[in-house]
Structure 1
Amino acid sequence: MSTRDVVLVALFAALMAALGAFPPLMIPAIGVPITAQSMGPMLAGGIIGARRGALSMLLFVVLVAVGLPLLPGGRGGLAIFAGPTAGFILGWIAAAAVTGVLVERFWSGLSFVTAFLAAAIGGIVVLYAIGIPWISLVGGVPLATAAAGSAAFIPGDLIKAGLAAAAILMVKRSYPIIRPAHGRP
């Protein structure tokens, strides 16, 4: 891993911390906050690629696990991983990887639509596929109930996917960090 790669991984872990500074909007009925941080994996995977994006999310998760208060509301520590949001927090790693793989796959013809779909598939579909079963398991609620409760977050996450797609395209046009698959070192 080059110095540039390490810097990009650290930069996007720091971006996740900055997104955590936005106060969470708690929905009491399901106990899961609406946060800006769910946009982080979309940005990381889409801007710095699958490998570096996933590593940035892994670094962020490790920093939270060791107790740094990087989650909204100043939360951090191992206890977070026993709660209902842990599946989503751990899912950020896979979400960034999948978003990055899709952006890399469609890099040469990347448009707002393909960037949006990559962000939505990685940052919503994959994230929910990990987070919802965790809510069901930890919360002791049926999977269908956890899924229905999580549906309230979809409109906001679609907006985040649109913002991420716009950012991905801006970076691609001005300073492309990802290189097409055939041009990668």
Structure 2
Amino acid sequence: MEKNVTLIALFAALIAALGLIPQIALPFGVPITAQSLGIMLCGTVLGAKRGALAVLLFLLLVALGLPLLAGGRGGLGVFTSPTAGFLVGFPIAAFVTGLITETWRKGPLAVSAGVASVIGGIVVLYLFGISGFALVTGKTMGEATVVMAAFIPGDILKAVIAGMLTAALAKARPASVLSRV
């Protein structure tokens, strides 16, 4: 129990730390950040439930006003911004990523964790992100999808990194990758 609580808190801190990497601000209100890599890692390393809980803890801290999002943003206002859909999708993306990593045990872990990161950390996350962006900005779903397409190459790179990091961690400390324990 204590180990789970510690790891959930540690991964919430990891997401926050990835927000310290300078964001690339885009004119339409959604920045390019490294925090989605943290969401992917929550799922691939901690598994579905613990990964989602780590993200929920992170979002609770953001809602309380801590400036943990990229660019030092925090507070309830971020949940009405153009990024709100992504924030809502974060825990679901971590859960789906973790669920896929837990259940897909054939082949190398780097591949299954990378594919899980693409499905959960990109496809699922973008469903929420694009919907929220369209809702907040008044754009159609098609227009919002076109705008968000600029983020896909970077997110694919993050998914590859998540897969490689998860496999490296499993090789170095197999018991630390809870999605496979």
Same-fold status (TM-score > 0.5)? yes
Distance verdict in 2 for CA 1:171–1:107, change over 3 Å: farther
Q: For 1:53, give the aligned amino acid.
A: G
Structure 2 residue aligned with 1:97: 95
Determine whether 1:39 maps to 2:37. Answer: yes
Q: For 2:23, give the aligned amino acid.
A: P
The secondary structure found in structure 1 opposite 2:178 is coil
Determine whether 1:159 maps to 2:157. Answer: yes
1:107 positional shift: 3.3
Of 141, 148, 151, 1:150 maps to: 148
Distance verdict in 2 for CA 1:7–1:92, change over 3 Å: same
Deviations 1:112-140 (A, max 9, x none): 32221111101000000111011001110
The secondary structure found in structure 2 opposite 1:26 is coil
- Pairs within 5 Å for 1:78-89: 78-89=76-87
Any conservation in 2 of the 1:103–1:110 contact (CA below 8 Å)?
no
Q: Matches of 1:37 and 1:64 in 2, distance apart?
A: 13
The secondary structure found in structure 2 opposite 1:69 is coil
- Pairs within 5 Å for 1:3-152: 3-28=2-27, 30-107=28-105, 109-152=107-150
Any conservation in 2 of the 1:87–1:130 contact (CA below 8 Å)?
yes
Q: For structure 1, which runs of at least 5 residues remain unmatched after alignment? A: none
TM-score (norm 1): 0.93
Any conservation in 1 of the 2:105–2:112 contact (CA below 8 Å)?
no
The secondary structure found in structure 2 opposite 1:128 is helix
Any conservation in 2 of the 1:49–1:101 contact (CA below 8 Å)?
yes
Q: For 1:178, give the aligned amino acid.
A: L
Q: For structure 2, which runs of at least 5 residues remain unmatched after alignment? A: none
Of 141, 162, 169, 1:171 maps to: 169
Q: For 1:76, give the aligned amino acid.
A: G
Q: Matches of 2:7 and 2:46 in 1, distance apart?
A: 7
The secondary structure found in structure 1 opposite 2:21 is coil
The secondary structure found in structure 2 opposite 1:33 is coil
1:109 positional shift: 3.5
Supply the RMSD in Å over aligned alpha carbons: 1.2
